[in-house]
């Protein structure tokens, strides 16, 4: 972990090798300038720190901030000449930015009273162990490790290369080590106690490094890793209960100990600096103690009682943020789109607004619609029930797949509103009593979905 070191701002830093993560030292060129991605080293910010960052984003960038699907913060619209200014402003605000291997935890780690175990001590021990390695391991730039203690805001749906998930055993708590994918698709290889977890992860990281600096968790042979970690081998007979889906970020949440947490979502993953600054001013005025960025394009505000949290929630709504679990915008994943990304062929935010108006029946919370400007699928690498991809002649629809797979149907730009309306009508007219949109579409099948879409 380092404080924001002054980055080079020559052209070489703006041109990153494919697959690297944009950082202060190596910003990424996009359609609206350079982009920087930041992970607070402590996992939390004060309202004043985040407000200072928002002010800096407006001063040195285009004033657009994003919270990614993984809960990282992005600043857009920078130039090579002013990245140094942003770095200085972040340093002056006292914000320490994490570097090295991405080690991710649930946003309320340590305070979520439904957690099986607090993942923070294990994450700290792992960071220190990785930092102490000499020579350092050469790993894939985007390699990620999730250490998940469970709770209401777990990370089961976030893809990771390596995952440690707390599970209850007959007499204690153990950590399930899995390779690649989400919690549901990853390959489980070992059940480790707290003393074995760091050494087990280091052994896997060394194996990845030996495979080359492009190797990812999915490239590992699960059987080989399981054999290497035989002392803590995973047994299929071990009882591991699937967790309930993570609670949506947006809303007022009461934890088991009575504490109130306000969840605020960025509309379509973005917020303008002026609106965010106004929100944070109010948070400070009301006595908020802490901000935690959250996967799902949002943040949590801690330290308010229920009454003051409700006051702040009302302001967030007036500023255009998502504040409720039933907001249909919660269920649309969008990338930056045209204007902000040179690869995009869709104005994703505008298309999302059309969808909210034309097909509310699809957005009941049972499924996610992914709007991707191009086949790279940056906003959602994993599969979605419905994925709309920008194409040269219009829009391509993928059913139960990622943005990169062969589409099931097409429509031109003029037909998108009616295409959405037909999909909404398909659900409305065929849904049984109590049935969700997802269940209805699954029952109807891809062919009927594609036919309805192309009616537009």
CA nearest neighbour of 379 among 411, 422, 331, 419: 331
Peptide bond before 154: cis, by omega within 30 degrees of 0?
A: no
In angstroms, the CA 369 to CA 147 distance is 27
Do 308 and 420 sit in the same domain of this protein?
A: no
CA nearest neighbour of 23 among 87, 67, 104: 87
Q: How many CB atoms lie within 10 A of CB 81?
A: 10
Integer Rg of the chain from CA: 22
CA nearest neighbour of 336 among 328, 327, 346: 346
On the question of pLDDT at 127 being above 50, the answer is yes
Do 168 and 127 sit in the same domain of this protein?
A: yes
Do 128 and 224 sit in the same domain of this protein?
A: yes
CA nearest neighbour of 427 among 410, 407, 443: 443
**Would you say residue 342 lies in a domain?**
yes
Q: How many CB atoms lie within 10 A of CB 98?
A: 18
Q: How far is CA 351 from CA 178, 285, 343, 395, in A?
A: 37, 36, 17, 10
**Would you say residue 214 lies in a domain?**
yes
Q: What is the pLDDT of residues 294-344, one digit of tens each?
A: 998 999 999 999 999 999 999 999 999 999 999 999 999 999 899 888 889
Q: What is the pLDDT of residues 58-82, one digit of tens each?
A: 999 999 999 998 999 999 999 999 9
Do 320 and 335 sit in the same domain of this protein?
A: no
Helix-, strand-, coil-residue percentages of the chain, each rounded to 5: 35, 25, 45
- For helices 47-60 and 83-92, the axis angle rounded to 10 degrees is 160
Q: What is the pLDDT of residues 415-449, one digit of tens each?
A: 999 999 999 999 999 999 999 999 999 999 999 99
Q: What is the DSSP string of 387-441?
A: EEEEETTEEEEEEEE-TTSPPSEEE-GGGHHHHHHHHHHHHHHHPPTT--HHHHH
In angstroms, the CA 72 to CA 98 distance is 11
CA angle 112, 265, 101 (to 5 degrees): 65
**Would you say residue 50 lies in a domain?**
yes
> CATH no. for residue 51?
3.90.480.10
Do 206 and 284 sit in the same domain of this protein?
A: no
The 8-class DSSP code of residue 8 comes to: P
User: What band does 26 get if pLDDT is binned at 50, 70 and 90?
Assistant: confident
Residue 359, pLDDT score: 97
Of 325, 344, 366, the position where a domain reaches its end is 325
Residue 242, pLDDT score: 59
Average pLDDT over the chain, rounded to whole? 90
Do 335 and 428 sit in the same domain of this protein?
A: yes
The secondary structure of 250-302, three-state, reads: CEEEECCCCCEEEEEECHHHEEEHHHHHHHHHHHHHHCCCEEEEECCCEEEEE
On the question of pLDDT at 11 being above 60, the answer is no
Do 120 and 186 sit in the same domain of this protein?
A: yes
The label of the residue with tokens 């109010």 reads 282
Task: Look at 15 and 70; give whichever has higher pLDDT.
Answer: 70
**Would you say residue 243 lies in a domain?**
no
The label of the residue with tokens 């549901």 reads 184
Q: What is the DSSP string of 22-43?
A: P-SSS-EEETTEEEEEE-BTTS
Of 325, 344, 377, the position where a domain reaches its end is 325
Residue 255's domain comprises: 2-100+249-325
Q: How many domains does the chain have?
A: 3
> CATH no. for residue 117?
3.30.413.10
Q: How many CB atoms lie within 10 A of CB 267?
A: 21
Of 305, 325, 345, the position where a domain reaches its end is 325
Model pTM? 0.87
**Would you say residue 244 lies in a domain?**
no
**Would you say residue 237 lies in a domain?**
no
Do 88 and 196 sit in the same domain of this protein?
A: no
**Would you say residue 239 lies in a domain?**
no
Q: How many CB atoms lie within 10 A of CB 304?
A: 22
The 8-class DSSP code of residue 192 comes to: E
Report the pLDDT averaged over residues 387-416.
Answer: 95
The 8-class DSSP code of residue 20 comes to: P
Distance between start and end Cα atoms, the chain: 52
Do 274 and 315 sit in the same domain of this protein?
A: yes
What's the gap between Cα 384 and its chain centre?
A: 14
Q: What is the pLDDT of residues 194-207, one digit of tens each?
A: 889 999 999 999 99
10 contacts: CB under 8 Å, gap ≥ 6: 80
**Would you say residue 353 lies in a domain?**
yes
Q: What is the dihedral of CA 52, 55, 59, 62, to 10 degrees?
A: 120
Do 164 and 264 sit in the same domain of this protein?
A: no
Do 358 and 315 sit in the same domain of this protein?
A: no
Do 13 and 115 sit in the same domain of this protein?
A: no
Task: Look at 6 and 266; give whichever has higher pLDDT.
Answer: 266
């Amino acid at each position: 972990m380092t404080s924001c070191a002054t980055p080079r701002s020559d052209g070489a830093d703006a041109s990153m090798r494919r697959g690297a993560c944009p950082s202060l030292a190596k910003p990424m060129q996009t359609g609206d300038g350079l982009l920087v991605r930041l992970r607070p080293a402590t996992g939390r910010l004060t309202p004043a720190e985040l407000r200072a960052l928002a002010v800096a984003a407006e001063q040195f960038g285009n004033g657009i901030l994003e919270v990614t699907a993984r809960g990282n913060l992005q600043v857009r619209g920078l130039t090579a000449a002013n990245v140094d200014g942003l770095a200085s402003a972040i340093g002056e605000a006292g914000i320490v930015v994490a570097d090295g291997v991405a080690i991710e935890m649930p946003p309320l780690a340590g305070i979520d009273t439904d957690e099986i175990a607090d993942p923070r001590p294990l994450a700290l021990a792992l960071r220190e162990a990785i930092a102490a390695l000499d020579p350092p391991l050469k790993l894939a730039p985007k390699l990620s490790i999730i250490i998940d203690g469970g709770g209401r805001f777990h990370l089961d749906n976030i893809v990771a290369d390596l995952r440690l998930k707390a599970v209850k055993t007959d007499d204690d708590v153990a950590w399930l080590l899995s390779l690649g994918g989400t919690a549901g698709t990853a390959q489980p290889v070992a059940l480790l106690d707290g003393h074995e977890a760091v050494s087990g992860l280091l052994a896997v990281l060394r194996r990845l490094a030996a495979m080359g600096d492009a190797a990812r968790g999915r490239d590992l042979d699960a059987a080989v890793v399981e054999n290497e970690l035989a002392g803590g081998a995973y047994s299929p007979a071990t009882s591991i209960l699937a967790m309930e889906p993570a609670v949506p970020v947006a809303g007022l949440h009461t934890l088991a100990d009575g504490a109130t947490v306000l969840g605020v979502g960025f509309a379509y993953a973005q917020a303008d600096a002026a609106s965010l600054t106004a929100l944070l001013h109010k948070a400070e005025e009301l006595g908020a103690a802490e901000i935690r960025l959250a996967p799902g394009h949002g943040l949590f505000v801690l330290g308010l009682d229920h009454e003051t949290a409700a006051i702040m929630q009302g302001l967030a709504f007036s500023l255009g943020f998502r504040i409720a679990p039933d907001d249909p915008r919660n269920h649309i994943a969008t990338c930056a789109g045209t204007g902000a990304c040179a690869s995009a062929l869709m104005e994703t935010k505008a298309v999302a607004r059309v969808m909210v108006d034309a097909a509310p029946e699809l957005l009941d919370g049972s499924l996610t619609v992914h709007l991707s400007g191009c086949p790279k699928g940056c906003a959602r690498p994993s599969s979605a029930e419905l994925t709309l991809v920008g194409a040269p002649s219009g829009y391509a629809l993928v059913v139960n797949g990622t943005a990169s797979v062969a589409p099931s149907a097409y429509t031109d730009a003029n037909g998108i509103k009616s295409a959405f309306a037909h999909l909404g009508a398909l659900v409305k007219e065929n849904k049984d009593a109590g049935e969700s949109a997802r269940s209805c579409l699954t029952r109807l099948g891809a062919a009927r979905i594609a036919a309805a879409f192309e009616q537009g």
